[in-house]
A and B are shown apart, each in its own frame.
Chain A
Amino acid sequence: MAENGHKEHPKYFKIFWWLLALTIIEVAVAIPEYSIVLKAILLIGLACSKAALVAIYFMHLKFERKTLTAIVLTPFIICVFLVIMLMPDLTSDDRHEGIEKPAEVVNTSAH
C-alpha cells in the first residue's frame, strides 16, 4: 500500500503559496532605492530560501538519503567560494592602475 509513500508528501500548494509570497516580497524589496549592500543581502537571502524550498519539497530532497543532500550542497558552496575568490582580483586598486598605465603609453606614442 505505501509503495511510494506519497501519503507523507507535503502539501504542494502550500509550498506554491510560499514561493509566490517570497517572489512578491523580492520584487517589493528590489524596487525602492537604498543601500545596495542591504538590498543584496535581502535578495540573496530570499532567493536562497526559495531555491531551498524547491529543492527540499519539489525535488524531494527531504525524503532522500542524507548523503545526497551533502553531494547537492557541495557545488553551491564551491560557487560561493568562487565568487569570493574572484573579488580581490577585480576590486583591488592595482587593477585600475594596471589599466591606466597602458592607456598613457598609447597616448604618448601617438604624439
Chain B
Amino acid sequence: MEHTTTLDHTEDVYEPSLTPDSLGKLGMWIFLVGDTMSFGALLAAYAALRAGAGVVGWVPPTEILGINLTAFMTFLLICSSVTMVKALESIQNGNVSRMCMFLGLTIAGGFIFLGLQAYEWYHLIKHGLTLTGIPDHGLSGAAISGSTLFGPTFYAITGFHGMHVTGGVIYLIVILIHGLRGRYTAEFNHEVEIVGLYWHFVDLIWIMVFTFIYLL
C-alpha cells in the first residue's frame, strides 16, 4: 500500500512521517524516558548507600533474599513480553481472537508476577526484613547499622516496580476490553503497540532490578 502513499522513501517501511499514531508512540517513549530517570535515581541511591556502607556494613542481599523465586519471576516477565509481541503480531495480521488470547496470557503473567511478589514480601516481612530492620544473622553492630538501609531501599524499588506492573495490568485489561469489542484491526492497532512498549519497559526495569538488588 505504501507505494501509492509515500513520496520519497518507499523502502522506509518503519520510518513514516509523524502521524497521530506515531505521535502516541513518541509520547509513550518520552514517558518511559522520564520513568527511566525515576528508576535510575532509585537504583543510584541504592548503589550509593551500599558503597557508602562499605563491604562490612552491608549484608550480601543473597543471604536475605531468595534468588530462585525471583529468577522464576524474571522468566515469567520475559514470557509475558513474548506473548505481548505475539499479540501485536497477531493484530497486525488481522487476527483479533488470537490477539485477545495473547493479551489474556500477558495479563495472566502480570497477575502471577504480582502474586509472587506479594508472597515474597509476606515472607520477608515475616522473617524480619522491615523498613527499619533486617533478619538476624548474628551480625556485628556495624553491619546491622549499615544494613538497616537495605529494607527501605528494597521495598521502595521493588514496590515502585510492582506499582508499574499493577498499572500495566490495568492498562492491558483496558486494551483487551477494547480488543474484544472489535476496536482493533490490521490497519488500526497502534494502541496495542503502545501498551506493548510500556509492558516491555516494565520487563526491562525488572531485569535491572533483579540484577542490582537480588544478584549483586
Interface positions of A (Cβ within 8 A of B): 1-6, 8-9, 12-13, 15-16, 19-20, 23, 26-27, 29-31, 36, 39-40, 43-44, 46-47, 50-51, 54-55, 58-60, 63-65, 68, 71-72, 74-76, 78-79, 82-83, 86-87, 89-91, 95
Question: What's the A-B contact tally at a CB cutoff of 8 Å?
Answer: 135
Check if A72 sits within 8 Å of B33, measured CB to CB: yes
Tell me how far the C-beta of B206 lies from the nearest C-beta in chain A, rounded to whole angstroms.
10
- Asked if B92 and A4 make an inter-chain contact with CB atoms under 8 angstroms apart, the answer reads yes
> B40 touching A74 by the CB < 8 A rule?
no
A25 to B189, CA, bound (A): 36
Q: B86 to A75, Cβ gap below 8 A?
A: no
Stretch in B71-79, B157-165, B172-180 with 4+ CB within 8 Å of A: B71-79
Q: Is the CB of B36 within 8 A of A76?
A: yes
Query: In the assembled complex, how far is the CB of residue A38 from the closest CB belonging to chain B, in whole angstroms?
Result: 12
Give B16's nearest chain A residue, CB to CB. Answer: A65
Evaluate whether A82 and B187 lie within 8 angstroms (CB atoms) in the complex, with A27-B215, A90-B48, A90-B52 already known: no
Tell me, in angstroms, the Cα distance from A1 to B2 when the chains sit together: 8
* Given contact pairs A4-B186, A13-B82, A47-B208, A79 touches B44 in the complex (Cβ within 8 A): yes
Are A86's CB and B48's CB within 8 A?
A: yes
What residues of chain B lie closer than 8 Å to A43, measured between beta carbons?
211, 215-216
